Chains A and B, each alone.
Chain A
Amino acid sequence: MRFRFAATAIDTNLGRQALQDPAAGGYASFEGWVRDHNEGLAVRRLEYEAFEALGLKEGERILDEAAARFPIAKALCIHRIGALAVGELAVWVGVSAVHRGEAFDACRYIIDEVKHRLPIWKKEYYENGDSGWVNCERCATAPRHTHDHDHVA
């Protein structure tokens, strides 16, 4: 299983080790962190909730697509669920490949697709006491929107 959800802190070292491959000349990773602000509001903490049965399949599909598009050795992705504090690691993507270009490209592809397709939701809790489901509340009356709130990174 190359994609998984984690209910506790992600160990990036383990992920990195799992990507090692004698044919790989390098490894690229992306870490998404919980930021202390979003859309003008100060964020104190957040919670991720995932539809795991479908999320695991969709995550695997994204990694399959990355492997089909780019000549890479291995790719992994771990997404946190549950309660996270500011500064914590929310999502980790790692790719090993013969050359650095493919590793960077595949890593970028995976995180972009994960943000748009994975059935996971983020509830932000703000300094002012409010809370809200990102992409669901302030835009609730708009048609399906595609803009990216880009909460981490």
Chain B
Amino acid sequence: MSAPLQGLILAGGLSARMQRDKAALTYLGKSQLDRVFELASRHLSKVFISVRAEQTAEPARAAKPQIVDSVAGGGPIVGIRSAFAQHPETAWLVLACDLPFLTDSALAHLLAARDPLRIATAYRSTHDGLPEPLCAIWEPAAAQALAAHQAAGRTCPRKFLINSNTKLVEPLEPRALDNINTPEEYIEAGRALDAAPGPHTMQLKIQYYALLREQAGRSEETWETTAATPAAVYAELNARYRFTLAREQLRVAVNSEFSDWTRALHTGDALVFIPPVAGG
């Protein structure tokens, strides 16, 4: 039995290199805090923002469910530990609020890959191969070890995940976890998002057969998504329907022909996920 999962958006950082509140940076006309909060809320029924005590009444933060730092120290570990202190039986999807390129499909892929028996499930960084602690699922078992980590004078959540039995997930979208720390990176990210055709929503036709049809409770549906590949679409559908078949057991067909999992999809494409066959 895995622990219930809630969202924790880290919005208490000092944004020292940015020299202004990262949560208030806007992309496509919406603050980054609102963007990531809404994103997480599309996948999880309960999402909190992690704040410092002096931030609780700030207009951008006051209206959202908060977890106020209750642990001494600095850095993101304080927010994560405070969440465990308040909800010890809960696992947390921890998200930084400086991930402007994070998408629904990237989040769904991580959620589908969750292994509740590990300390954490985290993306492997495309830059250095190490775990990304601030777009990761932290299981309740991490709480005590995190306290010990901090008591030993260590504040880096990444080092903690490197030294734990973290499940590492390969990202399907290389840029999804790019974070921004400096004013220059902010300007560049804003340009990239403005130039992109928005979060490009496609309508896909999904047809289900056999076991997947029964588990989805339907033979077909139209699926609106920004997921760019069959692999990312399966991750989204798996997060919704909790299929018992892992992607590794399936093949996929696009427009009635076998396809590979990383092909670029276009609106109107018809997808069929093919369970292990049993002819004859």
B280 — which chain A residues lie within 8 A by C-beta? 32, 90-91, 111, 114-115, 150-153
Q: Give Cα A145–Cα B250 distance, bound, in whole angstroms.
A: 11
Contact A51 B274 (CB under 8 A): yes
B277 — which chain A residues lie within 8 A by C-beta? 115-121, 135
The reply on B184 being an interface residue by CB < 8 A is no
A151 — which chain B residues lie within 8 A by C-beta? 278, 280
Most-contacted residue by chain A among B248, B258, B277, B279 (CB, 10 A): B279
Interface residues of A in 43-82 (CB under 8 A from B): 49-51, 53-54, 57, 79
Interface string of A132-153 (1 = CB under 8 A from B): 0111110111111100011111
User: Whose C-beta in chain A lies nearest to the C-beta of B276?
Assistant: A135
The reply on B211 being an interface residue by CB < 8 A is yes
The reply on A100 being an interface residue by CB < 8 A is no
Contact A140 B258 (CB under 8 A): no
Q: How far is the CB of B219 from chain A (nearest CB, A)?
A: 10
A49 — which chain B residues lie within 8 A by C-beta? 209-210, 213
Contact A51 B209 (CB under 8 A): yes
Contact A57 B211 (CB under 8 A): no
Question: Known: A49-B209, A49-B210, A137-B211. Contact between A121 and B278, CB under 8 A?
Answer: yes
Contact B209 A136 (CB under 8 A): no
- From B210, B248, B249, B257, A121 is in contact (CB under 8 Å) with B210
The reply on A37 being an interface residue by CB < 8 A is no
Chain A interface residue number, banded: 35 or more
The reply on B171 being an interface residue by CB < 8 A is no
- From A50, A79, A123, A145, B276 is in contact (CB under 8 Å) with A145
- From B209, B253, B276, A144 is in contact (CB under 8 Å) with B276
Q: How far is the CB of B103 from chain A (nearest CB, A)?
A: 28
User: Whose C-beta in chain B lies nearest to the C-beta of A47?
Assistant: B210
The reply on B275 being an interface residue by CB < 8 A is yes
B253 — which chain A residues lie within 8 A by C-beta? 51, 54, 119
Interface residues of B in 227-280 (CB under 8 A from A): 244-246, 248-249, 253, 256-258, 272, 274-280
The reply on A122 being an interface residue by CB < 8 A is yes
- From B210, B256, B279, A54 is in contact (CB under 8 Å) with B256
B278 — which chain A residues lie within 8 A by C-beta? 115, 120-122, 133-136, 149, 151
Chain B interface residue number, banded: 20 to 34
Question: Known: A54-B253, A136-B275. Contact between A143 and B248, CB under 8 A?
Answer: yes
Q: How far is the CB of A11 from chain B (nearest CB, A)?
A: 19
Question: Known: A123-B210, A136-B210. Contact between A57 and B257, CB under 8 A?
Answer: yes
Contact A114 B279 (CB under 8 A): yes
Contact A57 B245 (CB under 8 A): no
Contact A143 B272 (CB under 8 A): no
Question: Known: A136-B211, A143-B249, A144-B249. Contact between A54 and B272, CB under 8 A?
Answer: yes
Q: How far is the CB of B181 from chain A (nearest CB, A)?
A: 40
User: Whose C-beta in chain B lies nearest to the C-beta of A46?
Assistant: B278
A152 — which chain B residues lie within 8 A by C-beta? 280
- From A32, A137, A144, B248 is in contact (CB under 8 Å) with A144
Q: Give Cα A90–Cα B279 distance, bound, in whole angstroms.
A: 9
Question: Known: A49-B210, A121-B209. Contact between A139 and B272, CB under 8 A?
Answer: no
Across the A-B interface, the 5 shortest Cβ-Cβ residue pairs: A121-B210, A115-B280, A135-B276, A134-B278, A53-B256
A-B CB contact pairs (8 Å), 26 listed: A49-B210, A49-B213, A51-B253, A51-B272, A53-B256, A54-B256, A54-B257, A54-B258, A57-B257, A91-B279, A114-B279, A116-B279, A118-B277, A119-B209, A119-B274, A120-B277, A121-B210, A133-B211, A135-B276, A135-B278, A136-B245, A137-B244, A140-B245, A144-B248, A144-B249, A151-B280
